[in-house]
Amino acid sequence: MSALEREVADSAERVPLSPVRLQEPVPPPPGRSVEGKLIRRLLSYVGNPPIEFVLWSGERISTVTAPVTRVHITDRRTLFGLVKDPHIRFGDAYSEGRIVVEGDLVRFIETMYRAAPVQPKAARTLGSFLRRSRHRRNTPDGSRENIHHHYDIGNDFYSLWLGDTMAYTCAYYPRPEATLDEAQFAKFEHVCRKLRLRAGETVVEAGFGWGGLALYMARKHGVKVRAFNISHEQVVYARERALREGFASQIEYVEDDYRNISGRYDAFVSVGMLEHVGVENYPTLGGVAHSVLGSNGRGFIHSIGRNRPAPLHPWITKRIFPGAYPPSLSEFMQIFEPWDFSVLDVENLRLHYAQTLTHWLELFDANAAKVRAMFDEKFERMWRLYLAGSIAGFTTGALQLFQVLFAPKGNNNVPMTRAHLYASPAG
C-alpha cells in the first residue's frame, strides 16, 4: 500500500466512502480552476460517469450530484497526462500509484464502462485500422515475442492465483457456488463432451497453456494428445507435470507454432489461443484444422470475443497483451467459412469469465505480498487493474467468451441434440 493509499484508507475511516454514506455530497465546486475545466472536459469525453475527482489540492470535481466513487490524482503532471492520452495514462498512473481509486476497483471500472458513449457504427473500420497499425504483428516471430511477454514471466507467479489446474482461461460453473478448481475441471469436461471424445481417439491442441486440458483429456477420456505452444516456460511446466503424473506417453507437448501442426487427428481443440492469432491469420488457422481433420472430425475453439469488431483496450494491448485481439463472431467465422466447415454450436460464457476472474482476483489479492516480493508494487497494481478491468469488461458486456464447435462439411456423425452435455453434472 502506497503512502497515499494509506492516507486515503485512514481518511476513509473518517469520511465515509460508500455511495450510501455519500448522502450529503459536497456540491460540485465552481470548477473555475484550470484543473477543474480539464477534468470536466475529461469527464464529458468518457460519458460523464458518476465519479468524483479529488485533486492534490483537495479540490473536488464531479459532473453529477451523487458520485458513486472517488478518484484521487496526486499531482498536476498526472492530470495533464490523463487529459492528453487517457486510455494509456490512466492505467500507467494507476500502476504507479499516482491515481488512487477509493472503494471497489471492479465497481469503479464497471461505472466507467457503463457511462462510455456508444461506439459509432463505423467501429469495424476503426478496428481494422487499429489492427493494421498495431506495432508487432502475429507473424511466427512476432507471435513468439508477444507470447513471451505475457506467459513467460514466471510459472511461480501464475501458480499463486490460477488454482490447481493452472488453467488461464474462462472456467465453467455448472452451479454458481462451484469453486475455481471445480469450475476449471467442469470446463475441461464441457469441452470434451462437446467434442464427443472417445477412448483411443487422437486430439491435436493449438496453444495448451500449462497443459491442464491435455492432461484431463488423456486421464478422463483416454485419448492421445499432441499439443502445441510457443511459451517456453509453459512447455517446460507441462512436460514435467505430465511426466510426474504418468501421462508422458499419452501426451506430446510440442514447443512450436500452431502454423506447423501437421498429421491426422480425430479432434482439433484450441482454448484461449485465438486471442493471440490475429484476424489476418484466421483463414490460416482454419486451414490447419481443415488439413488435420478427416470427414468425421470435430473441432473446437474457445476465445474471448466482442459483440462487434473493436480494438482491445489500448492500455491492455500496450502493457499486458501485445498483439492480442478478441474477435466478433463475424470475424471469428473467417476461420471456418473459407474451408466450408459447419459451425455446430456457439455458446457465450461471458458471465462465467467474470466469475473466473473474480476467483483469480481473490487469490491474487490474498497473495499480493508475494507478488510484490517477486516483482514490485507497480507490477502488482498493474496486474490488479488488468484483472479488475477484465471482470468489468465481462460483467458489462464489453467482452464476450465464445465456445465454437465445428465439423467438416457433411459430417453426419454428430449428435442430434445437445442433451448429452447436460445428462449429468459436468466435472
Residues that bind a copy of itself (CB under 8 A): 114, 118-119, 121, 124, 172-174, 176, 307-309, 328-330, 333-334, 336-338, 340-348, 350-352, 395-397, 400, 402, 409-412, 414, 416-419, 421-423
Q: Give the nearer residue to a copy of itself in terms of CB position, either 197 or 310.
A: 310
Cα–Cα nearest to 187, from 160, 166, 159: 166
Q: Which is nearer to a copy of itself, 24 or 177 (CB)?
A: 177
For residues 167 and 349, which CB has a smaller minimum distance to a copy of itself in the complex? 349
Spell out the residues 6+ positions from residue 294 whose beta carbon is closer than 8 angstroms to its own: 264, 266, 408
Distance, CA of 35 to CA of 29 (rounded, Å): 12
Is the CB of 124 or the CB of 378 nearer to a copy of itself?
124
Could you give the angle at which helices 180-195 and 212-221 cross, rounded to 10 degrees?
60
Q: Which is nearer to a copy of itself, 245 or 340 (CB)?
A: 340
Four-CA torsion 123, 129, 135, 137, nearest 10 degrees = 90
Q: How far is the CB of 273 from a copy of itself (least distance, A)?
A: 21
Complex with a copy of itself: residue 104 or 345, whichever CB lies closer:
345
Give the nearest distance from C-beta 181 to a copy of itself in angstroms. 18
Cell numbers 491442441: residue = 205
Q: Which is nearer to a copy of itself, 65 or 296 (CB)?
A: 296
Q: How far is the CB of 188 from a copy of itself (least distance, A)?
A: 16
With beta carbons less than 8 A apart as the criterion, state whether 270 and 302 touch: yes
In angstroms, the Cα distances linking 161 to 288, 353, 376 are 33, 15, 17
What is the smallest separation between the CB atom of 219 and a copy of itself, expressed in angstroms? 24
Q: How far is the CB of 336 from a copy of itself (least distance, A)?
A: 7
- Shortest distance, position 327 Cβ to a copy of itself, whole Å: 11
249 vs 295, which CB is nearer to a copy of itself?
A: 295
Shortest distance in whole angstroms from residue 343 CB to a copy of itself = 6
To a copy of itself, the closest distance from the beta carbon of 388 in angstroms equals 17
- CB of 321 closer than 8 Å to CB of 275: yes
